[in-house]
Every structure is written in structure tokens, then in C-alpha cells.
Amino acid sequence: MTVRTILRFPDAGLRTRCDPVETFDESLRVLSNDLLDTMRAAPGVGITAAHIGVFKRIFVLELSREDGVRVYVNPEILDTSLETIRHTEGSVSMPGMVDEVTRPSAIRIRYQDLDGGWHENDAEGFLAVCIQHEIDQLDGIFWLLRLSKLKRDRLVKKWDKANG
């Protein structure tokens, strides 16, 4: 288990669509554990393989230690609610920068586990927001793109100023 280097905004890797995971073996488990260690060190509540420059469709969430770790391989959103929720989002690739994003408040997701087994689950509230955020990243959609141009430009300017 290793803490990996996280790509920083505006790295082109953060705009890269990830490829499906096809091999479910020990190397996938190692990647999953490295993602967890890297996310905890960041700190964050979610991280994709793309955040560390591995362009495979896998992400890890740990909303709280009590909830435990959730690993999603080859996730896809099957359905979304019409009702929306606004939540403050940020990224381990852009630490310290946050803003409010509006997303569907509930989703239905299909994904595989580390053994390749398929699952379908419903998620709502904060969990739904986090899953959508990470799937966006797997699709090469950095969270800033969910902001208005004005908010995005303001945040990028603030980031550039803070990171010289």
C-alpha cells in the first residue's frame, strides 16, 4: 500500500476518459488500496484512478470511517432523479478550492466489485453527489466544468494565484 502522487489541476490527465477495467486480479486490489491510502493522505472522501494518472474506471469512496470503504469498478449511472441537490464540492487535484455544484439528488448505479461481480444500488444525498462527482472524473469531466463560466473563471484565477 502506497501513497501515490496526485495529478494537479490543470493536468491534461484530468480531462482523460478512463478505459474499462478488464482484468480483476491482485494488481487491481493493490491499485484500490493505493487509492485509499492516497485519498486518506490528501485528505479527501473520494478518489479515482485518473487522479493518480492511471486511466482505468475505478474509484474509492470513504465518506466516514463508520460507513467504511466503497470500491466501484466500471461504474455507470442508470437513472437520476429530477429533484436536485446543491452541495459544496472540491477535488484532491485542486486542494483548498471548493464551490457549490447542483446535481440530481438520487441515482441508480451499476458497477463491479474487485472480483468482477456486478451490483446495482440506489444512492441519495451526499453519497449520490460523491458518486456522480467521481464518475464525471472517470469520464474526463473535471468538477469545475459543472460550474458557471463566471464561477469557474474566478476559482481558476484564485487557484493560479495561490499556486504561482
In the chain, the DSSP E strands lie at 46-48, 58-61, 70-80, 84-90, 98-104, 106-112, 118-124
Q: What is the C-alpha separation between 130 and 69, in angstroms, rounded?
A: 13
Cis peptide before 10 (omega within 30 of 0): yes
Annotated active-site residue 66? The verdict is no
Q: What is the C-alpha separation between 146 and 97, in angstroms, rounded?
A: 14
Helix (H/G/I), strand (E/B), else coil: 61: strand
The closest alpha carbon to 32, from 9, 10, 4, belongs to 4
Give the three cell numbers for residue 155: 476559482
Q: Please answer whether residues 35 and 58 qualify as being in contact, where contact means their C-beta atoms are separated by less than 8 angstroms.
A: yes
Q: What is the C-alpha separation between 90 and 34, in angstroms, rounded?
A: 21
Residues tagged active-site = 134
